[in-house]
Chain A
Amino acid sequence: MPPTLVFKLASPSGCVPDSAGPRADDPQAEASHSAPVDSSLAQAPAPGEVELATRLRQGEEAAFTEIYRAHHAPLYRFALQMGAPNGLAEELVHDVFVELMRSPQGFRPGRGSLRSYLFGVARHRLVDQWRRGRREVSWEEPGTLAGEPPSPDNVSEELSRRQELAQLSRALAALPWEYREVVVLCDLQEMPYQEAARILRCRTGTIASRRHRAHKLLQERLQRNRRGKES
């Protein structure tokens, strides 16, 4: 049974009219509230996505399964990494695909990739959950950090590495919402800035600055943790 920490989600910027408003320490956050999405952000869909979407509109089950297989795991992990518990993450994945099957015309290939569309829907749902009052969700530590099973030679090295990663994930969980989502999308999900900007509906520059600030915050927290342990 992994230890469970409870933390408060910060207001998701750019979508929830929080009473606190944009953060004072983030001058670009205010701009991102009303910033329209760049038309240049429209990323070309991956080859075959247009065809998949057409087949899905025609009601082909195989197309739906193919899309599900390709995207369900990243979406699930995204929800978990954003702080949703397991049940909520499953519900979120389910809702995203129900939305896709109900209105497949919602995905417009000319406006971006299928992945950015699905992540956009997922993020919207997460924000909805946040609005409904689930501001406190339990963060389950990623106890299933997979990887190669450690060989007898580097067991201790692997264990310390895992401890470091667990610390990092805890520090990530403590980040404010707007920074965490950027880190999750750009670093954990390894998305380009343009795609992340399309999902979060803000400018590419905002993504870059938020990511930089988030990294700084993470470093500070990790250093504080190290100092605390040493002392």
Chain B
Amino acid sequence: MKFEKRFPSEHGEETGLAGALSELGRRDQRSTPEQVHLRLLDEFREMQEARQGSTVFHARRWNPRWAGVAAALLLCGVAGWLLFHSQSNTGVRTASADGQSIPAVQVAAGSEHMPIGEGHTARTAQTAKPLIAARPAARNLTGHRLQKLAKTHRGHVTVPAALRNSLALVRKGWIPLPYSNPMLPLKDAAVVPVQLSATALGALGVHLSPGMTAASQRGAVYNAELLIGADNFARAIHFDSPKSDSHTQEQGL
């Protein structure tokens, strides 16, 4: 009413237009084709059947949020396990399996036949640089087993660098020492001739045969060559021949 008073001409036009528009709407009798309804009915039935068939599944439907949380927890667990596993394999070892300190021999390069005794220049693990332990499989291999293993798996497997270095040493007549770092390249190593007692050899991880042990009890020392790695730790040993204490004394050492 107010609108009509304010805009009389417009009001008349507006009413006519509104009438025309509603007539347009009333005359428009278009309708959805019947096949849409039929298709919808088919889908409705299928949906109902599916719902009835999986009532339990729908009742306990997976919540995507919880599935995501579970997946994240699983990933964390796997990552933690892998981290722990890698640390146990390549982590720093400060003690040997029997709880004793790890023997480490440091020899000044260039010195000739330097006698190394127990507690002389050997450092305990607490004072030594952290040693990266060899892989258990490579650490426990003797030279013969290493060669056999290399022969068996030649061309079939990719030999890791540590094992490859150890094999190269064995081929040249060296005995790889345990607790050394087999990953270091051999080209940086230096050969140092030394005289070692049986006790010192045991500290290096070299166990003598019973006959040699008996000889060592008489104070025998052994001429050997130590291969010193780039980290200044002994990597491998090469024996010449056993010498008696008297022989050493004769040489004035």
Known contacts A145-B27, A165-B23, A188-B24; A219 and B32 CB within 8 A of each other: no
Partner of B20, one of A80, A101, A165: A165
Question: Binary interface profile of B, 147-160, with partner A (CB < 8 Å = 1, else 0)?
Answer: 00000000000000
Select the stretch in A2-10, A35-43, A46-54, A90-98 that faces chain B: A90-98
| Cβ–Cβ contact A188 & B44, under 8 A | no
For A164, the chain B residues whose CB sits under 8 A away are 20
Q: State whether the Cβ of B108 lies closer than 8 Å to any Cβ in chain A.
A: no
Known contacts A68-B40, A98-B43; A90 and B25 CB within 8 A of each other: no
Distance (Å) between the CB of B181 and the closest chain A CB?
62
For B40, the chain A residues whose CB sits under 8 A away are 64, 68, 94, 97-98, 101
Known contacts A147-B27, A219-B13; A102 and B20 CB within 8 A of each other: no
Q: State whether the Cβ of B45 lies closer than 8 Å to any Cβ in chain A.
A: yes
| Cβ–Cβ contact B17 & A218, under 8 A | yes
Q: State whether the Cβ of B47 lies closer than 8 Å to any Cβ in chain A.
A: yes
Q: Is the interface of B mostly helix, strand, loop or mixed?
A: helix
| Cβ–Cβ contact A61 & B17, under 8 A | no
Question: Binary interface profile of A, 191-231, with partner B (CB < 8 Å = 1, else 0)?
Answer: 00000000000000000000010010011001000000000
User: How many residues of B are in contact with the other chain, CB < 8 A?
Assistant: 29
Partner of A183, one of B21, B32, B51: B21
Q: State whether the Cβ of B2 lies closer than 8 Å to any Cβ in chain A.
A: no
Known contacts A101-B44, A218-B17; A77 and B24 CB within 8 A of each other: no
Partner of A61, one of B28, B29, B39, B45: B45
Distance (Å) between the CB of B58 and the closest chain A CB?
12
Known contacts A68-B40, A72-B36, A94-B36; A81 and B21 CB within 8 A of each other: no
Q: State whether the Cβ of B48 lies closer than 8 Å to any Cβ in chain A.
A: yes
Residues in A lying within 8 Å of B, measured CB to CB: 59, 61, 64-65, 68, 72-73, 75-77, 80-81, 89-90, 93-94, 97-98, 101-102, 142, 144-147, 164-165, 168-169, 172, 183, 187-190, 212, 215, 218-219, 222
10 A–B contact pairs at CB < 8 A? A61-B41, A65-B37, A72-B36, A77-B30, A80-B30, A94-B36, A142-B28, A168-B24, A188-B28, A215-B17
